[in-house]
Amino acid sequence: MSSPATTTVTATPRRQRIMCGLMAAVIFTVMLVVSILLKTHTTGVIAFRTSDQVATTGLGIAMAAATVYLSRARVDADASGVRVRNIVGTHTLPWSAVRAVRFDENSPWASLLLVDDDELSVLAVQAADGERAVRAVEGMRTLLAASRADGVRSEAPHPAT
């Protein structure tokens, strides 16, 4: 063997995390500036108070937190299986439940083709991350192939017949 077998694969969407972090900082900064300037401007009909400033700042914090939450995608794979955490939900699958690791040329992210003919998007492996994404897909494919070759079979959900 020319290179040691891949034992674990961990991937996160680097570019998405950077962009979400920057956007969260911009959102919070804009909302903070708006809340500071809120008391200095009035329409004559509405007088803004300190509570309005606090609420606007709180809204900025909530919006920034929601933006950061979009970057929570992650995939962890080892010899026993793969754990995929997307924006909403986490899936832990044994390799026996996975038919193939797919990453098409024009696809924005990778996906797992499952034995029950479902497809699970892997948002942590994104085309925008370039070589990092390719290495993650190759690592998952190596682990999948090793599980087939070694006969490593975990209990997997089988479709009803």
DSSP one-letter string for the chain: --SPPP-EEEE--HHHHHHHHHHHHHHHHHHHHHHHHTTT---SS----HHHHHHHHHHHHHHHHHHHHTT--EEEEETTEEEEE-SS-EEEEEGGGEEEEE--TT-SEEEEEETTS-EEEEEEEEGGGTHHHHHHHHHHHHHHHHHHHHT----------
* Residue bearing the bigger pLDDT, 20 or 155: 20
pTM value? 0.76
Q: Tell me, what's the pLDDT at 159?
A: 44
% of the chain with per-residue pLDDT over 70: 88
Same domain for 146 and 79: yes
Please choose, from the candidates 102, 129, 108, the residue with its C-alpha nearest in 3D space to the C-alpha of residue 17: 129
- Of 51, 69, 87, the residue at which a domain comes to its end is 69
How many Cβ atoms are within 10 Å of 71's Cβ, its own excluded?
Answer: 22
Q: Does residue 87 sit within a domain? A: yes
Task: Over range 28-55, report the average pLDDT.
Answer: 85
Q: Does residue 18 sit within a domain? A: yes
Residues 50-79 pLDDT 10s: 898 999 999 999 999 999 999 999 999 999
Please choose, from the candidates 108, 107, 112, the residue with its C-alpha nearest in 3D space to the C-alpha of residue 77: 112
Same domain for 85 and 54: no
Q: Tell me, what's the pLDDT at 161?
A: 34
Backbone angles phi, psi at 103, to 5 degrees: -150, 85
* Residue bearing the bigger pLDDT, 2 or 92: 92
Q: Does residue 1 sit within a domain? A: no
* Residue bearing the bigger pLDDT, 52 or 22: 22
Please choose, from the candidates 95, 97, 102, the residue with its C-alpha nearest in 3D space to the C-alpha of residue 115: 97
Instruction: Report how many domains make up the chain.
Output: 2
Structural domain boundaries enclosing 31 = 14-69
Task: Over range 17-37, report the average pLDDT.
Answer: 95
Q: Tell me, what's the pLDDT at 144?
A: 94
| Least confident span in 15-29, 95-109, 139-153 | 139-153
Q: Does residue 82 sit within a domain? A: yes
Please choose, from the candidates 78, 86, 80, the residue with its C-alpha nearest in 3D space to the C-alpha of residue 10: 78
Q: Does residue 131 sit within a domain? A: yes
Task: Over range 117-141, report the average pLDDT.
Answer: 94
Same domain for 144 and 122: yes
